[in-house]
Amino acid sequence: MTIETYDALIVGARCAGAATALQLARSGAKVLLIDSARGGSDTMSTHALMRGAVMLLERWGLAAPLRAAGTPQIARTSFIYGEDAFDIDLRPEHGVETLMAPRRHLLDRMLAEAAAEAGAELRFETSCTELIKDAQGRVTGARVSLPDGRTREVSAGLVIGADGKRSRVARLVGAEVTRQARHTVACAYQYVSGLPNRGFRWHFAEAAAGGIIPTNGGGSCAFVALPEHAAAELRSASVQELAARHMPVMAEDMTGAEPLEARVIFAGLKGYMRRCAGPGWALVGDASWFRDPITAHGITDAFRDSEMLVKAVKTGTLGCYEAQRDRLSLPIFELSDRIASFDWSLGDLAGLHKQLNRVMKANQAWIAGTRDEVRRVA
């Protein structure tokens, strides 16, 4: 069997892996990007993008194609605490005038195709089954199973696990969990038609949260999140009924909504941070760390970390990647855990959201700065 050699093998071709592949391939690296899933498939996730994510999509040249694909543009974010609504009209900053929430089958496909256009070899229905290590324990490649059932051996300077929450790469390198969150929410979401684009609408009540997120195809993603112990209740009713029970203002917002697709249930998963780099390997996206989805930050963080990882690879500073990830991520991790506890009054929660906003601004400043730094080292 001939063993092919790459600069990087990236396991997982969604928002973390495809974004990393795109940047590495554009910088001239020889990249193999694989995913066990079919190309263009959906995944469990709502998909509200924060300003940092849209900044990066603009930088990578993908914001315009997403707009051209009919992704609704979000000009307002509303936080509705019980009956009190705080509407925030988006101000142009860092070159971003509107937010968006593209469906994952569109966003992930566009990222993967852009990586392939940049020269990455893209293989779907192809799984990493084992890692290959040298005598010193350094990861030097992987065995991958192909769609026809055959196995291929791949040699790579760096194996990047972008393979999500249950990362096999993390398990095979023994990436230690360095932090564990204490709380998680359970959540039900459903795509519905018939609602106008009123921006991102985030609803909160005692021990409940919800949202309405306009997305592609004239649909909106409506979700209700409850404490983990109430997960069974999410299975007992539609999202509209759950909203009526817990957040009457959200139920009013949903007047006229018609289900487009079956409801999806996320039973909850406590956040974690893992060691994210070692000899011959690195992790990015949910493989690296996971914060509770209540703050809707995973994709924005995955994009940011892909920039951070690529910069570390290009500058030979992989050893600093974890410390930098922690510096920018810990406040988001801790605030997400605090909000997921549901142990707050609506007044406390508004304060937590203000703190989160300050953290997001610091992240955006970091993202804005990397453009120049990366250019200097490239």
Ligand X SMILES: Cc1cc2nc3c(=O)[nH]c(=O)nc-3n(C[C@H](O)[C@H](O)[C@H](O)COP(=O)(O)OP(=O)(O)OC[C@H]3O[C@@H](n4cnc5c(N)ncnc54)[C@H](O)[C@@H]3O)c2cc1C
Sequential DSSP letters for 124-137? SS-EEEEEEE-TTS
Per CB under 6 A, 20 contacts ligand X:
no
- Segment 41-46 long-range contacts (CB within 8 Å, at least 24 positions apart): 41/105, 42/103, 42/104, 42/105, 43/14, 43/104, 43/108, 44/264, 44/266, 45/104, 45/293, 45/298, 45/299, 46/101, 46/189, 46/211, 46/213, 46/221, 46/223, 46/293, 46/296
Question: Which residues inside 235-264 make contact with ligand X, applying CB under 6 A?
Answer: none
CB of 287 to ligand X, least distance (A): 6
The site that binds ligand X (CB under 6 A) totals a number of residues, namely 34
Torsion of CA 171, 186, 190, 262, to 10 degrees: 70
Per CB under 6 A, 317 contacts ligand X:
no
The binder of ligand X chosen from 23, 46, 184, 220 (CB under 6 A): 46
Query: Segment near ligand X (CB under 6 A), from 254-262, 293-301, 318-326, 349-357?
Result: 293-301
Please, which residue, 163 or 253, has the CB nearer to ligand X?
163
The binder of ligand X chosen from 26, 47, 123, 183 (CB under 6 A): 47
Q: Which two tokens stand for residue 142?
A: 């992987």
Per CB under 6 A, 15 contacts ligand X:
yes
Per CB under 6 A, 34 contacts ligand X:
yes
Per CB under 6 A, 11 contacts ligand X:
yes
Per CB under 6 A, 368 contacts ligand X:
no
Q: Would you give the DSSP letter of residue 100?
A: B
CB of 345 to ligand X, least distance (A): 24
The binder of ligand X chosen from 163, 228, 253, 337 (CB under 6 A): 163
Please, which residue, 4 or 373, has the CB nearer to ligand X?
4
Q: CA–CA separation, 83 vs 16, rounded Å?
A: 37
Q: CA–CA separation, 38 vs 47, rounded Å?
A: 19
Query: Segment near ligand X (CB under 6 A), from 90-98, 150-158, 159-167, 310-318?
Result: 159-167
Q: CA–CA separation, 287 vs 63, rounded Å?
A: 25
Please, which residue, 18 or 205, has the CB nearer to ligand X?
18
At which residue do the structure tokens 């940047």 appear?
23
What is the maximal distance between C-alpha atoms in the chain?
A: 66
Chain residues binding ligand X by CB under 6 A are: 11-12, 14-17, 34-37, 43-48, 127-128, 162-164, 168, 187, 266, 285-287, 293, 296-300, 302
